[in-house]
A = this chain, B = another copy of it.
Amino acid sequence: MGLDALFSPRAVAVIGASNRELTIGYRIIENLLDFGYTGPVYPVNPKGGEIRGLTAYPSILETPDPVDVAHIVIKNTYVPACIEDCAKKGVKAVIVNTAGFREIGEEGIALEEQLVSIAKSTGIRVFGPNCQGIINTDPAVRAYCNFTFTRPAPGGISIVAQSGGVGEVIHQRITELGVGVRQYASNGNACDVSIPEIIEHFGQDEQTKVVVVHIESLSDPKAFLDTAGDIARHKPVLAMKVGRTAEGAKAVSSHTGGLMKQDTAIEHIFEKAGIVSFRNIEGLCQSAIGFASQPVPAGNRVGMIANTGGPAIIATDELIEGGMVMPSLSEKTASVLRERLYPEASINNPIDVLATAGPEHFAAAMNALRDDDAIDAIFLNFVTPFFVDTLGVAREIARANSQSRKPIVATVMTEKKGWAETLKLIRQSGVPTYDMPETGARVLASMGRYAALSKRPIEPPVSFSDVDSARARSIIRSAVDAGKSLLSADDGYSLLSCYGVDLAPYKVTADVEECIASADEIGYPVVLKVESESVVHKTDSGGVVLNIPDPDSLRTHAKQMAAQFAKVSPKFLVQRQLREGQDVIVGAQAVAGLGHILMFGLGGIFVEVLKDVSFKITPVTSREAREMVESLRAAKLLSGVRGQAGVDLAALVEIIQRVSQMLTENTAIRELDLNPVFAFERGATAADVRVLL
């Protein structure tokens, strides 16, 4: 049943109820009554008496049966005992509005741990602490278990927010825009009921058409990824990416008390889950309205209708920058339009029906785009000239919307008082209607983005069968047992070969003469590298010599290196010098509670100066591995430019997937660097590896 009792309680108690208006204990009762909560409300206060006209009970244990949800707004230290009473009473969930838990440090953390353990031992669910609460606008429930003031109309948007402040801003804005909300939740410290659980609840709620999420950091990134990913396949999930800048991230960590785990991965988690992400609240709210009222487009091809040119240009820029395309009209569509529109009308995409166009012209243009198979969505730019029957145009828009399976998004630019009726008619028809061409265009582009995300094929990551997982496990286990944090070269290379990654032949040797012997076996030219746990950055410290042509010069370099690193009694690694290929880097970093983030990029200046790298969360599917390669700005270099042959992209895509499998099967790997990997016309070979545990 999940969170049904929380969102649809049969009765609500408020423990810490008060008659003083400026208290949360009063406000929540007021909100429940004002909003028309359909169940009984039980104020609880040791003094008894009456609170806002309701009988107050001295204890939760004395309230009439059954109570599904109890708000707790008493002092923090009294909360654990209170929850135990609630559990005794059979309360299903408590909403702990009281603050003074994890966010205040040690003492609060201990208190919060008590709440968690009571929840575990009794089965009662704890929502919060240090939170706002929930709202459910379902006419059968109308539960306003929250101390905020927004009064939403029932609708299709459900909101979950880590920050009550931001959640309330989103909630207010959507309500102000005249659009309804289904359910709302802001769970503060989230000690028990979690954001993934709430998302799942919204996902299963049929009346929720779109889920809006605000998170600043994730306590359980894996649960979030899995749940949101499942939901997002069939229902749009929209979220904001905050903390994008270093300063913003610092503010996040200061806001959440630095207690949340790794959050730099959020952006990549959104992408993997198929969440549509936004850079600002306004865009998120406007898009939610579009998703709540219109079908998802089948693709990204937009047909635009305008009755003035300037705004159409602005909308075109935004649509294209948002990943949409505006195909030329088919000859059939064009000829229909030529017949029905004014002769001076512009029969392009955007279609300019002219400022003098009336209802019949708009109708003709909308019908033509509806019937054109090369168009997935219709964008309307409508200014309201005083000499046009704008009400008639509005009626045609409403008609078109009721007949169209393609989404229609409109920008209506008007003097709102003079054209209130026209605006109302369009709004009521269910066509999302925006003031600004750029706003409407961004909304439609976000719908196109979701269409693409939700249509990505479901494919499990490839599991290569030629790998030696057992040996890899044992290499890592031995290293861990030996307390090593850096794998030896031998172990690192062996690990890679367990997963079938092609390696430049090498040998680890103990002294200069063994170097010479190994090089004879491997064949010149060779590379000489110092090998010691104490030397992490070999290149920077002079521990790597490339392109050694013959035994004499190998001897010279080996002796010199032996002298230089004498202190750490190093070994030496002799390795085949690979012919010149395109050098690339494959890297990875563990993310607590999630897995690893894989990185791919071209070597040298591309990674160091241009920061031209791509990221994916493991396990990486073959589509994702391809995207990693293709999304680089310098991707063309890999496929060949100026008549040069490209490199073996398939080999790179395979290495990425093999490394992904290695990481997924060996969670003890903390950091990995294959740098460089040389990509050739045929194949790709790793020349160096560094593995941190």
- Which residues of A are interface residues toward B (Cβ below 8 A)? 22-23, 27, 104, 147-150, 161-169, 172-173, 176, 214, 216, 240, 242-248, 251-252, 254-256, 279-282, 308-314, 316-321, 326, 344, 346, 348, 350, 352, 383, 386-387, 413-416, 418, 435-439, 605, 608-610, 633-634, 636-637, 641-642
The answer to whether B149 and A245 have CB atoms under 8 Å apart is no
**6 cross-chain CB contacts under 8 A:** A163-B311, A169-B310, A169-B436, A254-B348, A255-B310, A282-B436
Tell me, rounded to whole Å, the shortest Cβ–Cβ distance linking A177 to chain B.
11
The answer to whether B610 and A311 have CB atoms under 8 Å apart is no
Task: Give the residue of B318, B413, B636 whose beta carbon is less than 8 angstroms from that of A165.
Answer: B413
Copy tally for this chain in the complex stands at 2
The answer to whether B22 and A321 have CB atoms under 8 Å apart is no
The answer to whether A317 and B282 have CB atoms under 8 Å apart is no
Q: What B residues does A608 contact at CB under 8 A? A: 641-642
Q: How far is the CA of A254 from the CA of B346 in the complex (A)?
A: 8
Q: What B residues does A240 contact at CB under 8 A? A: 314
The answer to whether B386 and A22 have CB atoms under 8 Å apart is yes
Known A149-B386, A348-B254, A438-B282: A248·B316 in contact at CB below 8 Å: yes
Interface centre among A172, A216, A247, A310 (most CB of B within 10 A): A310
Known A637-B605, A637-B609: A344·B104 in contact at CB below 8 Å: yes
A241: nearest chain-B partner, CB-CB: B317
The answer to whether B414 and A172 have CB atoms under 8 Å apart is yes
The answer to whether A313 and B176 have CB atoms under 8 Å apart is no
Q: Which 6 A-B pairs have the closest CB atoms?
A: A163-B310, A255-B309, A165-B308, A166-B310, A248-B317, A280-B438
The answer to whether A313 and B251 have CB atoms under 8 Å apart is yes
A166: nearest chain-B partner, CB-CB: B310
A434: nearest chain-B partner, CB-CB: B282
The answer to whether A251 and B316 have CB atoms under 8 Å apart is yes
Q: How far is the CA of A416 from the CA of B177 in the complex (A)?
A: 12
The answer to whether A248 and B320 have CB atoms under 8 Å apart is yes
A165: nearest chain-B partner, CB-CB: B308
The answer to whether B281 and A437 have CB atoms under 8 Å apart is yes
Tell me, rounded to whole Å, the shortest Cβ–Cβ distance linking A368 to chain B.
18
Tell me, rounded to whole Å, the shortest Cβ–Cβ distance linking A173 to chain B.
7
Known A172-B414, A317-B244: A310·B633 in contact at CB below 8 Å: no
The answer to whether B605 and A313 have CB atoms under 8 Å apart is no
Task: Give the residue of B172, B243, B413 whose beta carbon is less than 8 angstroms from that of A168.
Answer: B413
The answer to whether B313 and A248 have CB atoms under 8 Å apart is yes
Q: How far is the CA of A176 from the CA of B436 in the complex (A)?
A: 13
Q: What B residues does A636 contact at CB under 8 A? A: 609
The answer to whether B281 and A438 have CB atoms under 8 Å apart is yes
Task: Give the residue of B149, B161, B176, B311 whose beta carbon is less than 8 angstroms from that of A418.
Answer: B149
Task: Give the residue of B165, B316, B346 whose beta carbon is less than 8 angstroms from that of A309.
Answer: B165
- Contacts A176-B416, A605-B634 supplied; 12 other A-B pairs, CB < 8 Å: A22-B386, A164-B308, A169-B310, A169-B435, A216-B313, A242-B310, A248-B313, A248-B316, A248-B320, A279-B438, A609-B637, A610-B633
Q: What B residues does A246 contact at CB under 8 A? A: 320
Q: How far is the CA of A252 from the CA of B313 in the complex (A)?
A: 6
Tell me, rounded to whole Å, the shortest Cβ–Cβ distance linking A550 to chain B.
25
The answer to whether A320 and B605 have CB atoms under 8 Å apart is no
The answer to whether A439 and B282 have CB atoms under 8 Å apart is yes
Q: How far is the CA of A256 from the CA of B309 in the complex (A)?
A: 8
Tell me, rounded to whole Å, the shortest Cβ–Cβ distance linking A293 to chain B.
21
Q: How far is the CA of A137 from the CA of B134 in the complex (A)?
A: 49
The answer to whether B439 and A242 have CB atoms under 8 Å apart is no
Tell me, rounded to whole Å, the shortest Cβ–Cβ distance linking A592 to chain B.
21
A21: nearest chain-B partner, CB-CB: B386
Tell me, rounded to whole Å, the shortest Cβ–Cβ distance linking A105 to chain B.
10
Q: What B residues does A438 contact at CB under 8 A? A: 279-282
Q: How far is the CA of A279 from the CA of B435 in the complex (A)?
A: 16
Q: How far is the CA of A610 from the CA of B612 in the complex (A)?
A: 10
The answer to whether A413 and B348 have CB atoms under 8 Å apart is no
Known A610-B633, A636-B609: A247·B316 in contact at CB below 8 Å: yes
A388: nearest chain-B partner, CB-CB: B22
Q: What B residues does A244 contact at CB under 8 A? A: 317, 321
Q: How far is the CA of A281 from the CA of B438 in the complex (A)?
A: 7
Q: How far is the CA of A592 from the CA of B257 in the complex (A)?
A: 58
Known A244-B321, A310-B163: A413·B172 in contact at CB below 8 Å: yes
Q: What B residues does A162 contact at CB under 8 A? A: 310
Q: What B residues does A254 contact at CB under 8 A? A: 309, 346, 348, 352
Known A172-B415, A436-B169: A251·B309 in contact at CB below 8 Å: yes
Q: How far is the CA of A415 from the CA of B321 in the complex (A)?
A: 34
Q: What B residues does A281 contact at CB under 8 A? A: 314, 436-438
Task: Give the residue of B150, B168, B641 whose beta carbon is less than 8 angstroms from that of A609.
Answer: B641
The answer to whether A243 and B317 have CB atoms under 8 Å apart is yes
Tell me, rounded to whole Å, the shortest Cβ–Cβ distance linking A376 to chain B.
16
Q: What B residues does A311 contact at CB under 8 A? A: 163, 165-166, 169
Q: What B residues does A642 contact at CB under 8 A? A: 608
The answer to whether A255 and B165 have CB atoms under 8 Å apart is no
The answer to whether B386 and A245 have CB atoms under 8 Å apart is no
A356: nearest chain-B partner, CB-CB: B99
Q: How far is the CA of A339 from the CA of B244 in the complex (A)?
A: 32
